Structure 1
């Protein structure tokens, strides 16, 4: 990111962090490397982990016809847990990728390859975040706790996926959208098909936004042998992204239909599907703006997916309340 000429770059700032973010400007000096490991200076990832959780709990409320105080705790607990587990996951990613990160222009400024923290210090920080997140998870029912424990498997595998498959974004989608299953189960006590279909929609959405993100590193990735859908698709990326956009919309619409059609609440169904429609248009806007060879545009569009994911949250909330 380009720094303001009158604002000196803070020591240790990561290359793709927001200019003037609170970590680099206001956090105590000793805490900054650890907060950078957790991507606290780059909050978009927390949003992308959190939003499927909110989809899940709101869709579950539409399914049962009730939304109570505990559902507010589910939403708040998921928000805190998303921050913590995104931080723990990113810390794990940086530990496993420390040799790769040192060879990529965008990532060599991260805390471990730049020497701000050691891998051992990072591991302790990862464990601390995970333990606090476990405390939140234990406030939910047994099925949700089990799902939370199982979610650690895709989180652990993801950093290695780009070494053995051209589709590491699938593994990211499996991990990042787990909250749709978890939050649904926290409300209902068990999994249901609407949550599973919603989870699949989230994976398709992740393939969309993370392919855009991966286009920032295609040249460096090619040099060091790291695989990604951006490299796999190449000049056909726009076509594939359109497919992922259509798949996201179709699966999300289907999951909403599974809940609101049986309820025979036509107004709720129309409002919920309106959120899907607007989400689809936001993704189409991204496609029109996309310049795969321009890293700044790719990063800007990737970050815009907070708005993409918030759209169905807002419409679902209204659909549940009417």
Structure 2
């Protein structure tokens, strides 16, 4: 989104942030497992500030039913960092809706994922949005899904993206609606299938 309209993204930056995403997820998962067991200076500062989120996220499921929201804040920090790296500024009209979209998307897919573990979570006293929403889960994640698509549309409009962005966004919204409407929240295998299907949602958004 931060690249020049009509041109491919900077491949070097794309590779750099791809590696960063892998390392960020790895760091968060490592800290989570341990606890469960018993550019320019401004951009560097923005990147380093995400570490606070990475290392505090695993604690959230012990204190709040909204760890998935905190995960969204953590995993989507790259929306801010990537824009700052490319543009050397933070345009709130573009990046705030983009960041919000990422958070809402995370709430959808990770709530579905959390339904796989809800019985075990109840036994050990771990909290999640799956337990918080219960039988109303589909209503909640439908709302978050709508907010995600709306925020992506607003961000694209603010960034003056060309019209092909919107058919891809429409296709992504169909994919998201499909997984929300068809997921069987009491079936662990189906929850995992729908969770994994989010790679196609991400691909449709990224393809343009």
TM range (shorter): over 0.9
TM-score of the superposed pair, with normalisation by structure 1: 0.62
Structure 1 distance, partners of 2:168, 2:88, is 26
User: Whose Rg is larger?
Assistant: 1
Instruction: Determine which of 175, 192, 195 is the counterpart of 1:299.
Output: 192
2:60: which partner in 1?
Answer: 161
Instruction: Determine which of 12, 16, 27 is the counterpart of 1:73.
Output: 12
Alignment of 1:106-185 (within 5 A): 140-185=39-84
SS of equivalent residue, structure 1 residue 61? coil
Structure 2 distance, partners of 1:216, 1:167, is 16
Please state how far the C-alpha of 1:81 moved relative to its aligned partner.
Answer: 1.7
Answering whether residue 92 of structure 2 is matched by residue 196 of structure 1, we say: no
Please state how far the C-alpha of 1:90 moved relative to its aligned partner.
Answer: 1.0
Structure 2 distance, partners of 1:304, 1:153, is 29
Q: Is residue 185–residue 191 contact of structure 1 (8 Å, CA) maintained in 2?
A: yes
What stretches of structure 1 move > 2 A for 4+ residues in a row? Answer: 65-69
Please state how far the C-alpha of 1:68 moved relative to its aligned partner.
Answer: 7.2
Instruction: Determine which of 150, 154, 158 is the counterpart of 1:258.
Output: 158
Instruction: Determine which of 96, 99, 116 is the counterpart of 2:35.
Output: 96
Query: Number of residue pairs matched?
Result: 207
Please state how far the C-alpha of 1:152 moved relative to its aligned partner.
Answer: 0.5
Please state how far the C-alpha of 1:67 moved relative to its aligned partner.
Answer: 4.9
Structure 1 distance, partners of 2:119, 2:24, is 30
Structure 2 distance, partners of 1:143, 1:74, is 16
- Specify every segment of 5 or more residues in structure 2 that has no aligned partner in the other structure, as ranges: none
